[in-house]
């Protein structure tokens, strides 16, 4: 977006329309291409794949007062996650041979989640809306979503080279609960280690109930 984002009426809501797919795909790629680029480049094919693979039921999208997309946060549960494309989707973007080696590498990067915790499945904000509270509002919204789904905890992983993101999560009450050596996934992404962070969900129920239909 060329103009500065109007944040006077910032709204966050679940889902997005088809017209917003290219915007979200490009923002996702801008945020994560430094790591996913080893697997998903070239850019045009990566964005083409993401346009079809992003799932609206697992996205919380921030928009300004004019309805322009400012960023989004993905959620992951046992029912699915933000990026849901499979081999067929990869093949449409990269061709069968391109999909053949990319699919297992992307599978290595997948983070599993248990029955009591919802996972933050990526958070990204447009360049003109950064450092203006959008990321904070998205985290608040994702915690509200976790509470509505009756999860006890919210989990996320942050790579050890991403100090600004870790500081943002710590301001929102997340604390480090473990460290992960990335192994083969890290070799594919160019990342050696990540920290798992967690925080209790306000208003969470004592017992977990399955996700509402999506």
Query: ∠145-79-190 over CA atoms, to 5°?
Result: 90
Q: Phi and psi for 103 in degrees, rounded to 5? A: -55, -50
What integer pLDDT is reported at residue 15 of this predicted model? 97
Residues 126, 2: Cα–Cα separation, whole Å: 11
Question: 124 φ, ψ to 5°?
Answer: -145, 145
Indicate the class that CATH gives domain 11-152: alpha beta
Mean pLDDT over 138-145 rounds to 96
**pLDDT tens-digit readout, 146-182:** 999 999 999 998 888 889 999 999 999 999 998 877 6
The Cα 34–Cα 137 span in angstroms is 25
pLDDT computed for residue 204 by the predictor: 56
pLDDT digits (tens, 9 = 90+) for 35-79: 888 899 999 999 999 999 999 999 999 999 999 999 999 999 999
- On the question of pLDDT at 106 being above 80, the answer is yes
- CB–CB of 170/194 below 8 Å? no
- What's the whole-number mean pLDDT along residues 72-96? 95
């Amino acid at each position: 977006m060329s103009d500065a984002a109007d944040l006077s009426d910032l709204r966050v809501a679940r889902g997005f329309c088809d017209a917003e797919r290219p915007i979200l795909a490009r923002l996702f790629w801008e945020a994560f291409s430094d790591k996913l680029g080893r697997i998903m480049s070239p850019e045009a094919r990566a964005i083409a794949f993401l346009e079809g693979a992003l799932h609206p039921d697992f996205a919380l999208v921030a928009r300004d007062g004019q309805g322009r997309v400012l960023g989004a946060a993905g959620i992951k549960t046992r029912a699915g996650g933000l990026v849901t494309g499979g081999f067929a989707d990869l093949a449409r973007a990269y061709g069968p041979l391109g999909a053949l080696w990319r699919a297992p590498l992307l599978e290595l990067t997948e983070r599993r989640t248990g029955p009591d915790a919802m996972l933050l499945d990526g958070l990204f904000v447009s360049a003109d809306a950064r450092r203006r509270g959008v990321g904070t509002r998205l985290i608040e919204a994702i915690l509200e979503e976790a509470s509505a789904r009756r999860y006890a905890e919210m989990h996320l992983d942050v790579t050890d080279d991403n100090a600004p993101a870790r500081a943002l999560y710590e301001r929102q009450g997340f604390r480090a609960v473990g460290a992960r050596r990335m192994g083969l996934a890290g070799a594919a992404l160019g990342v050696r280690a990540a920290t798992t962070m967690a925080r209790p969900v306000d208003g969470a129920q004592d017992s977990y109930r399955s996700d509402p239909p999506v």
